Amino acid sequence: MSKNAAVVLQQSENDYMSLKQGEFETITKFKERFDNKLKAYNATLDPTAKVSEPRAAMAFLSKLNKLQYGQFYAHMINIINADPNAIPSTVNEVYQKAKASRPYSSNWYLLQYQTRFASQYISTYAK
């Protein structure tokens, strides 16, 4: 790890900007990672340039896995588009709402894939 402030800023900015929720990562684990990356990024910034809570909340929303939270994301964006005052004020607010929503299970996608693969295999090779 570099001790040069410009390099540290660039590394922490890249880490924060490229952060996304993993396909099999729980929202709780993702929030922990998000909070850590945001904290590291803010620590490198000038106090007047730190990421505000509403901006961080919108970033958290956009970094959620779209397979699991796509409907939730679309719902939140529609609400915000209809009422600009409905922007979430904190990351925790988005986290709580997302956690309460019913995400698609990655096991469902795996089951669909396995079912399709099995039916293709049977129709092709089991004649």
CB distance 61 to 73 below 8 Å: yes
CB distance 51 to 38 below 8 Å: yes
User: What is the C-alpha to C-alpha distance for residues 34 and 77, in angstroms, rounded to an integer?
Assistant: 20
pTM: 0.77
User: What is the C-alpha to C-alpha distance for residues 104 and 52, in angstroms, rounded to an integer?
Assistant: 30
The pLDDT tens digits for 30-61 are: 999 999 999 999 998 888 889 999 999 999 99
- Using 50, 70 and 90 to split pLDDT, how confident is the model at 102? confident
The ranges assigned to domains in the chain are 5-125
What Rg value do the Cα atoms of the chain yield, rounded?
19
User: What is the C-alpha to C-alpha distance for residues 5 and 92, in angstroms, rounded to an integer?
Assistant: 30
